[in-house]
Amino acid sequence: MKTRTLVMLSAAIEAATGLALIALPGLVARVLLGAGLSDSGIAVARVAGCGLLSLGIACWPGGDSAAPAAIRALFVYNLLVGFYLGYLRVAGGFAGSLLWPACILHILLALLLARPACEAWKRT
């Protein structure tokens, strides 16, 4: 898979997740974590949604290639979120129906972005 396509896919997933968190934070929490949100949790989820939407927009590739900063940002984000979602499932007591699939997707994206991210770091 081309790096540009991979970055576009990852950015689209994050932007879509951001929109979902802004619009329906309680539903996202239920299917991802298997738990509801308090009023403050809803507010924090919507702020996180704004951040994810912004990340997706900022990392969207323009022209023929993806920006090195976008590649690095999406790699680090996917790696950290993938491990954290795995931790939540294994040790955190959460069991939403989309928790394992989301964990696997983020780890897979991180693995696919690892080489392009290393190359992007070498260029800076």
* Domain chopping of the chain, boundaries: 3-122
The pLDDT score that the predictor gives to residue 41 is 97
**How many CB atoms lie under 10 A from the CB of residue 102?**
22
Tens digits of residue pLDDT in 24-61: 999 999 999 999 999 999 999 999 999 999 999 999 99
Tens digits of residue pLDDT in 76-90: 999 999 999 999 999
99 to 36, 39, 78, 84, 90: CA distances (angstroms) = 14, 22, 14, 10, 10
The pLDDT score that the predictor gives to residue 67 is 94
The pLDDT score that the predictor gives to residue 123 is 83
2 to 32, 33, 37, 113: CA distances (angstroms) = 29, 32, 38, 10
- Residue 63 predicted with pLDDT over 90: no
Whether pTM > 0.75 for this model: the answer is: yes
- Residue 65 predicted with pLDDT over 90: no
Q: Which two tokens stand for residue 68?
A: 């090195």
Amino acid at 15: A
Question: What band does 64 get if pLDDT is binned at 50, 70 and 90?
Answer: confident
Q: Are 53 and 19 in contact (CB under 8 A)?
A: yes
Look at residues 64, 57, 59 and name the one whose alpha carbon lies nearest to residue 74: 59
Percent of the chain, pLDDT > 70?
Answer: 100
Residue indicated by tokens 């972005």: 113
- Residue 124 predicted with pLDDT over 80: no
Q: What whole-number distance in Å separates Cα of residue 7 and Cα of residue 15?
A: 12
